[in-house]
Amino acid sequence: MAAPKKKTVDYFPHFTRPGKTLFILEAKWGNDGYAFWFKLLETLGATEGHVCNFNDAAQREYLLARTGADAQTANDILSELATLGNLDGALWAEGLIWCQSFVDNVEDAYKKRLSDLPQRPVSSTENPMERVNPEEETPREEQFDTGNGETKVKERKENKSREKVKSISPDGDYLDQILALFLHEYESEHGKPYLIVNRGKERRAVGVLLRAHRAEIKASGTSPPDSDETKRQFQALFRAAVRVNDPWLHNNMSPTILASKINEILRKIENGSGGKVQSKLDSSFFERLQRDGFIQGAAGRR
């Protein structure tokens, strides 16, 4: 019987000119951010299937030891990478670390072995039969931004035409269902459809928000809401976010901005409603939204 072919690599491309990812990581975490990114890629390369489970204690502790980061810093950097599109947001929402463009960039190693590339895991919120075609997702140069955005494989062409709101079906997978709620609230507030430039990026931002919500609910010690209640809570969040009392945020609100500025936006929402400012997507936050009428069935809809 032939030995199973390994699903790890001994090298990956390291480009020499810094790109946006490194600038952002260094601006926020200094050299620790730079080191974390490359040590993460090294860890993914040495891990079977190139996927790490941050929820698994052994894998999490190894990654923390490898990168020299504490759990909170690692979680913050990984969430930032998911928001930027370097990591798969839907999978990160479930604690899985997957960088599609990293896998694409080591394709040559698998070609030499006459072996197939490892495949992206399927999120529990996705129907594998209805999964989005990877060609529709963010271009690889935006995901694997280790240098100047180059990749060894041919870059996908980004579709420059803007998708209209109708392209997101409320009957799609769970991320699309959550995204459709944002689109509805945006149109209700602005009187025009939200135009999507990059669907994959918006989905990843929703995934980051879902993970933050689940983490806060778990930390609060309350029972996690079911999928319908979660959607109801996110509709309330989106309803409050698109009405936030800040001119720039009001005019530019998007799932990506909401994910990247979530603490600032939560503070503005709670300041505007006179609530206690905590900047957490926990149960008490949604109870206050219900009190203030952002959730249907309470004080009415704003």
Q: What is the DSSP track for 5-22?
A: PP---S-----SS--HHH
Contact partners, residue 116, CB within 8 Å, separation at least 6:
110
Q: Same domain for 278 and 173? A: yes
Q: Is the pTM here over 0.75, yes or no? A: no
Q: Same domain for 91 and 183? A: no
Q: Same domain for 181 and 77? A: no
Q: Same domain for 37 and 116? A: yes
pLDDT digits (tens, 9 = 90+) for 39-48: 999 999 888 8
Confirm whether 264 is domain-assigned. yes
Tokens of 106: 């080591």
**Most confident stretch, 10-24, 50-64, 104-118, 256-270:** 50-64
Tokens of 205: 């931002």
Full residue range of the structural domain in which residue 84 is found? 20-143
If 0-12 CB within 10 Å is exposed, 13-18 middle and 19+ buried, where does residue 103 land? buried
Q: Same domain for 186 and 258? A: yes
Confirm whether 280 is domain-assigned. yes
Q: Could you tell me which residues are beta bridge partners of residue 52?
A: 97
pLDDT digits (tens, 9 = 90+) for 73-132: 999 999 999 888 889 888 888 889 999 888 888 887 777 777 777 888 876 555 443 343
Q: Same domain for 177 and 226? A: yes
Domain total in the chain: 2
**Coil, strand or helix: which one is 168?**
coil
CB 206, CB 179: distance < 8 Å: yes
Distance separating alpha carbons of residues 267 and 280, to the nearest angstrom: 9
Q: Same domain for 31 and 120? A: yes
Q: Same domain for 138 and 71? A: yes
Q: Same domain for 107 and 199? A: no
158 residue type, one letter: E
Distance separating alpha carbons of residues 302 and 299, to the nearest angstrom: 9
What pLDDT sits at residue 71?
92
User: At which of 78, 112, 143 does a domain end?
Assistant: 143
φ, ψ of residue 52 to 5 degrees: the values are -115, 145
